Amino acid sequence: MFSVGVFIRRLPPEVPLFYSNPWGREQLAPPYFLLLPIVLSFLFLGINVFLSKKVFMENSFLKNLLGIGSSIVLLLSAVAVFRIILQII
């Protein structure tokens, strides 16, 4: 999120974000949409932390698996957004 905040003024009005769509305007989104993967990953992490504390209290393996998996998803989404920014700038 920090990199989006720092480079938001240097980004063009539309950035490529939706790579699963066909090539062209369907892939483009406003620059503030770059926060979407990171925010969704934080939400995913929060839900998994809640589940690990409330539902999987006795099973330490599942608690660790949810925490590590969510952290990896958050890290990978931040790296993907950072690489998109570096590709544009």
pLDDT digits 0-9 by tens, 48-85: 888 888 887 788 888 888 889 999 999 999 898 888 88
* CA-wise closest residue to 84 among 44, 31, 43: 31
Q: Compute φ and ψ for 20, nearest 5 degrees.
A: -80, -15
- Domain of 11 in residue numbering reads as 2-88
Number of structural domains in the chain: 1
pLDDT at residue 2 in the model: 61
Q: Which residues pair with 16 in a beta bridge?
A: 28
Q: How do residues 1-50 score in pLDDT, each as one tens digit?
A: 565 667 677 788 888 888 777 888 888 888 888 888 889 999 999 998 88
pTM comes to 0.77
Mean pLDDT estimate for the chain: 84
Q: Is 83 exposed, middle or buried (0-12, 13-18, 19+ CB in 10 A)?
A: exposed
Q: Tokens for 69?
A: 């998996």
